[in-house]
Amino acid sequence: MSTDFSNLIADAVTAKMTPDFIEKEVNSRVEKLIVECIDKSFRSYSDTAKQVEEAVTLALRVENLDLPSYGDMVTRMIKSQIEAVVSPIVAGRLAEDVEGLLKLAPKEIKLSEIANDMRKRHEDEDKWGRVITVIVDDSYYGSPWLYLDDQNHYEDREKSRCAHRLLINKDGTISGGWIDDKDLAKGAWFGRSYGLAQRLRAYIACGTKIILDIDDVVTSVGDY
């Protein structure tokens, strides 16, 4: 009896699962599936529901059901539709990100301009006195170190406490150092940055040249 039942189901499923039928059903559901996959959250089920599901599955279990494999065809169809739907979305998002990055990172920027931007925030907050750190430390080998901190003022002897410590190439690009105390040599960077740190990351990504146009940078605001 079990064998006849299995054969009956196998014959019925085989007759129904034609390539045309599968293509029609997959195409009608894939786009909806993509949207659901983007937004859906993990769902939990009660122990009772799981027990019922297992009992029903066991009751309807069919042994040795020999069906033709349409896995490869379904995989190709799903991949094709995902690419068709997702590619324009990704391309648009990348275009926005690149545009934003280019706004943050000009081809070159003067150190005096960076210092002015660092001070402006404190001026807007009506602060007074020395509020930022900008130190250029010329190296014996010709590649200077640039120490920046837009939150605190440090003396030269304390420059290692600055949040951003950058090694500048002879052409003005950043070749190494730390941004927000994250080692640039390690490459990977997770999470968002804001303010000066965000701009410095953009400078590295776009190869912006920092022109060291001044030595004695104004680090104070107000009548000081």
pLDDT per residue as tens digits for the range 194-218: 788 888 988 888 889 999 987 677 7
- pLDDT confidence band for 8 (50 / 70 / 90): confident
Average pLDDT over every residue of 17-29: 77
Q: Which residues pair with 174 in a beta bridge?
A: 168
Residues 177 and 133 occupy one common structural domain: yes
Residues 63 and 140 occupy one common structural domain: no
Supply the pTM of this predicted model. Answer: 0.54
Residues 142 and 81 occupy one common structural domain: no
Of 45, 80, 104, the last residue of a domain is 104
Confidence (pLDDT) at 42? 38
Residues 116 and 78 occupy one common structural domain: no
Position 41 pLDDT exceeds 50: no
Confidence (pLDDT) at 147? 95
Of 104, 133, 149, the last residue of a domain is 104
Provide the domain count of the chain.
2
- pLDDT confidence band for 74 (50 / 70 / 90): confident
The one-letter amino acid at 50:
K
Task: Considering only residues 9 and 172, tell me which one the structure prediction assigns the higher pLDDT.
Answer: 172
Residues 112 and 188 occupy one common structural domain: yes
Of 43, 78, 104, the last residue of a domain is 104
Of 194, 202, 213, 138, residue with least CA distance to 174: 202
Least confident piece of the model among 120-124, 147-151, 186-190: 186-190
Domain containing 151 equals 108-221
Position 188 pLDDT exceeds 60: no
Residues 120 and 90 occupy one common structural domain: no
Residues 124 and 187 occupy one common structural domain: yes
